[in-house]
Structure 1
């Protein structure tokens, strides 16, 4: 009986984590906008305004998915830092993994 309950608990926990890992498009957009605001060091009203404008933008209208927007930002940051070769690859990898 205890084993059956443990299996059910594990199965329901795993299912919950699987659902939590999948973000909606709006959640992805929120993550990207939040990352941009953090990179810019925005605080208070300035951050609120930036987040509002960022979230209002329709990513589809720009032709970019949230992941593509993130790639564009990371690429621009790497270029600004003048990274090349392995240093650029490492930076891009860690930048794209940030949520």
Structure 2
């Protein structure tokens, strides 16, 4: 009888632990946790192992190997990128580059 009672109590304690774990799993994941899950699934689908997997995960988490649709820039970041590329094409430097960048960034994003 004592064994049955101890088993029931132990099952109750384990059951409470599982309920606590389930509620923790129900919480929304942070963007980093979502990214980690996505990268992990991609690495698994590509059957990467060892150092190759580590490198892939590192790059994926840094967002350098993700699909362009996944990498989202704010409109301001996009504008800076475009202006910087244009200044590079024109080989501007010093004050001329600063002036160009200032004027370019002041233009309204289309």
Name whichever structure is richer in helix by fraction: 1
Q: TM-score range by the shorter chain?
A: 0.3 to 0.5
Q: Structure 2 length as normaliser, TM-score?
A: 0.39
Specify the structure having the higher radius of gyration (Cα): 2
More contact order relative to length (CA 8 Å, sep ≥ 6): 1
